[in-house]
Chains A and B, each alone.
Chain A
Amino acid sequence: MAEVAWLVRRPLIVGDKSVAQVTRDICAAMETRPSALWWAGFLAALSLLGLGVTAISYEISTGIGTWGENRTVGWAFDITNFVFWIGIGHAGTLISAILFLFRQRWRTSVNRAAEAMTIFAVMCAGIFPLIHMGRPWLAHWMFPYPNTRGSLWINFRSPLVWDFFAIATYLTISLTFWYVGLLPDLATIRDRTASPWRRRIAGILSLGWNGSTRTWQRYEVVYLLLAGLGTPLVVSVHTIVSWDFATSLIPGWHATIFPPYFVAGAIFSGMAMVLTLMIVARKTMQLEDYITPRHVDIMCKLIIATGGIVGLSYATEFFMALYSSNPYEQFVFLNRATGPLCWAYWTMVSCNVLVPQLLWFRRVRSNLVLVFVISIFVNIGMWFERFVIIVTSLHHDFLPSSWVSYRPTCIEVATLLGTFGLFFTCFLLFVRLVPVIAIGEVKAVVSHDKLSGGTHA
């Protein structure tokens, strides 16, 4: 067994745990009272959420005009946030599905949280296509349903429709995948918890799971299939998101490199977000033994890799623009780097390309604080990447007569903060209500470690 040999080098879970201990440790997080730290974070997140809800209701009741967009820059913060959050989501699916297919066992400690992150991120992302509409109350027109208009269907040629289907599918599949993974752990909670209401809820949700091998066998098949579906799905989703731009004819959008570029960027940003969360979680929830420096180390390496792809994409884009003797294309990129919004461009480059280079050094990788800071930088940088792509391409396009500038309004900023509020509210509730780590899988890993340790020692 290759991975056994690989595992020999260093165990994934430190502090030689017994299976029962694993259960105890992980469930402890949910059974003890929430810490003051948790409450602080939760209230902060909740108030941000409140702010966002206020901003959005004001926008919907008053008009898109409450945003800084104008006749030339038709999208700005709204779609920037959308792409940003979708990107965040992708790392979750990567860790849980793709690494599962590659039999990367280290994922077990983080996949549950990563999947949760995916779902919450997609929720945040989903808000924006909705509220960026001038008349969101007509959003159901995006769905092809029979109607009395003779029948007027929808435009399947529009990337926005592709988007709609992609996001819907992605959310559904991610939820299913997550829930399937949760079943055994819900059963565990059901069977050990003291509180009757928690037992009742867990009882209903666990669908009467009994660790029968027959079920385990099917369970593993389903899990594998969903992982197999999720892998191309996650790639397709961000490819389609990138087509929103790539299929248009705006210089700076109209580029064939977008799909790989976006997917890499998505994983890049997602990994950074996973790191951010994990580092916080392991500190605040005493999970040091499960989320070890090795997990962090591996993810840092992934960040270097994806960051490299992203940096390469920036360079390629620029080169292609200059190489294509298309004046509009050339203009857009020179304008990005030196124009009125160049500060955004250089923020993006320094956060996404320069800063991650620090991770080449093991000393940096092993310094969790530093890693945490870097991960934040990457998050910022990736937000600006979307901003740069969307706004700087639009604000100076073909006809010089319609060149304009763009300034966000307070409402837009509040909306962005609001989505962070939603995300962290959901995440903090998640760490209280659901095992943050896939108990079943970790047990398997633990006993494997023991097993291999035993045989080879």
Chain B
Amino acid sequence: MLTPKLTAIRLPGIQRGYEPEQPIRFSHRLHAGEMQISCQYCHSGAERSRHAGIPAASVCMNCHRFVTAPLGAVRAEDELAAKENRPPRRVIAPELRKLYDALGLDDDLRRDPAKPQRPIAWVKVHNLPDFAYFDHRPHVAAGVACQTCHGPVETMERMRQVADLTMGWCVNCHRDANRTGIAGHPVYASIDCAVCHY
């Protein structure tokens, strides 16, 4: 009863609103919002493991092997090429360039043995304390929408922590789930300590 009021103000240790700079300016708004790519296309771990996981660069390449720059830029280059009647050059957006560099690809997106492969060090946004065990699988299985905890990701240019991820926040959601069910169908979300702490 007191808890909601308390969490309304940011208490010590609560990282709500954390929105760190990322190595590549990846836009969830563009991918999840405009392009309507489902969350689990990239974060496929969510239904197979406790971690949703951050997609491997190879997953990005599924599309970005072909999409190398915004449509506008490509059109412009085509027109320019037509004008100068030469084959259009491949346009590579600066942010995607970082991805290709990480994979050690050359301009034709072929593996360049000279270039080293460097994994991309994303900055973790949602951090739970190590003594709290969280597992995505049961939540996905129960049909909890990603937005319930991660907020309106599809509107975020840069990923931001929306929920404050306190124990009270978890527990109250579990309580509500038991009362109202999830997406209509009844569920049972235990609030035993040993669900998260062991």
Direct contact between A and B judged by beta carbons closer than 8 A? yes
**Chain A interface bracket (under 10, 10 to 19, 20 to 34, 35 or more):** under 10
Q: Is A400 an interface residue (CB 8 A)?
A: no
Q: Is B14 an interface residue (CB 8 A)?
A: yes
The smallest C-beta distance from A137 to any residue of chain B, in angstroms, reads 14
| Contact B2 A150, beta carbon cutoff 8 Å | no
Binary per-residue interface labels of chain B (1-28) against chain A in the complex, 1 for a CB within 8 Å, 0 otherwise:
1110011000100100000000000000
Q: Report Cα–Cα, A152/B3, bound state, in Å.
A: 10
Q: Is B172 an interface residue (CB 8 A)?
A: yes
Q: Is B171 an interface residue (CB 8 A)?
A: yes
| Contact A148 B172, beta carbon cutoff 8 Å | no
Q: Is A149 an interface residue (CB 8 A)?
A: yes
Q: Report Cα–Cα, A149/B2, bound state, in Å.
A: 11
| Contact A151 B2, beta carbon cutoff 8 Å | yes
Tell me what chain A mostly uses at the interface: helix, strand, loop, or mixed: loop
**Stretch from B56-64, B81-89, B109-117, B162-170 contacting the other chain:** B162-170
| Contact A146 B171, beta carbon cutoff 8 Å | no
Among residues of A, the one whose C-beta sits closest to the C-beta of B171 is A150
Select one of B6, B14, B164 contacting A146, CB under 8 A. B6
Among residues of B, the one whose C-beta sits closest to the C-beta of A146 is B2
- From residue 408 to 452 of chain A, which have CB atoms closer than 8 A to chain B? none
Q: Report Cα–Cα, A150/B168, bound state, in Å.
A: 3
Chain A residue contacts of B11, Cβ below 8 A: 148
Q: Is A455 an interface residue (CB 8 A)?
A: no
Chain A residue contacts of B169, Cβ below 8 A: 148, 150
Chain A residue contacts of B164, Cβ below 8 A: 148
Among residues of A, the one whose C-beta sits closest to the C-beta of B7 is A148
Among residues of B, the one whose C-beta sits closest to the C-beta of A152 is B167
The smallest C-beta distance from A140 to any residue of chain B, in angstroms, reads 13
The smallest C-beta distance from A103 to any residue of chain B, in angstroms, reads 48
| Contact A150 B6, beta carbon cutoff 8 Å | no
Chain B residue contacts of A150, Cβ below 8 A: 3, 166-172
The smallest C-beta distance from A214 to any residue of chain B, in angstroms, reads 44
Q: Report Cα–Cα, A149/B167, bound state, in Å.
A: 5
| Contact B6 A148, beta carbon cutoff 8 Å | yes
Q: Report Cα–Cα, A150/B174, bound state, in Å.
A: 11
The smallest C-beta distance from B175 to any residue of chain A, in angstroms, reads 8
Q: Is A147 an interface residue (CB 8 A)?
A: yes
Q: Report Cα–Cα, A184/B164, bound state, in Å.
A: 55
The smallest C-beta distance from B6 to any residue of chain A, in angstroms, reads 6
The smallest C-beta distance from A334 to any residue of chain B, in angstroms, reads 41
- From residue 158 to 186 of chain B, which have CB atoms closer than 8 A to chain A? 164, 166-172
Among residues of B, the one whose C-beta sits closest to the C-beta of A145 is B2
- From residue 141 to 158 of chain A, which have CB atoms closer than 8 A to chain B? 146-152
Binary per-residue interface labels of chain B (79-118) against chain A in the complex, 1 for a CB within 8 Å, 0 otherwise:
0000000000000000000000000000000000000000
11 more A-B residue pairs beyond the given contacts A146-B2, A146-B6, A148-B7, with a C-beta to C-beta distance below 8 A = A148-B3, A148-B11, A148-B14, A148-B164, A148-B168, A149-B166, A149-B168, A149-B171, A151-B2, A151-B3, A152-B167
What is the interface of chain B, defined by CB distance below 8 A to chain A? 1-3, 6-7, 11, 14, 164, 166-172
What is the interface of chain A, defined by CB distance below 8 A to chain B? 146-152
Q: Could you list 5 A-B pairs, sorted by A, with CB under 8 Å? A: A148-B14, A149-B166, A149-B168, A149-B171, A150-B169
| Closest 5 pairs between A and B when the two form their complex, measured CB to CB | A150-B171, A150-B168, A146-B2, A148-B166, A149-B167
